[in-house]
Amino acid sequence: MKGGEDILVYSKNGNLIIESKIIRVREIISYQHIDDIIIKHVNEVYDHEMDIFLSQSVKYENAGNNLIHRILFQIFLLFHQNKRTINISQSNEDLLIILNEIKSNLPKTVIPPDLDKSLFWKKVSDNHSFSLVKLVFSKNNLSLFEVLKKYNKYHEK
């Protein structure tokens, strides 16, 4: 188990487990169902978000054992049903913990070595230019452009 500021990250039975230390919710993501992962720069302080796109919904478990955690879990479930995209907004340290855990189970994962320079990321993919975003993993070897288009994240200007 690897822990960051707000999360615990580990693998078990072919699943990536991300557990929130605050609201005590466990996200269970089957490695077999991870199709694509992108990481993007979101503000000037080198903060990033990561989107994990799945072929089947993520599963959730209550990791807390008191009444407050059970109530929070039920509220959480109201907004997180049949979710096939996971958007992770964590510190860079926590994102790297998650990425390293994914890479140890999905070797095709490419962790950007230049997270601190993401403000200058520029990528040309299928004759389209993209800034502030990188493709980290694609099960079917899609290009960045194909992944963004597949999930309606690409909008022509």
Least confident of 31-40, 55-64, 106-115, 147-156: 147-156
Report the pLDDT value the prediction gives residue 106, as an integer from 0 to 100. Answer: 97
Report the pLDDT value the prediction gives residue 124, as an integer from 0 to 100. Answer: 85
Report the pLDDT value the prediction gives residue 23, as an integer from 0 to 100. Answer: 84
Phi, psi of 5 (to 5 degrees): -60, -50
Report the pLDDT value the prediction gives residue 4, as an integer from 0 to 100. Answer: 64
Sign of the Cα pseudo-torsion (81, 82, 88, 89, in order): negative
Q: What share of the chain has pLDDT > 90, as a percent?
A: 55
Task: Give pLDDT tens digits for 12-24.
Answer: 999 999 998 888 9
Task: Give pLDDT tens digits for 46-99.
Answer: 588 999 999 999 999 999 889 988 998 999 899 887 789 998 888 888 889 999
Q: Which of 31, 38, 59 is nearest to 133 (CA)?
A: 38
Q: How far apart are the first and last CA of the chain?
A: 43
Report the pLDDT value the prediction gives residue 46, as an integer from 0 to 100. Answer: 53
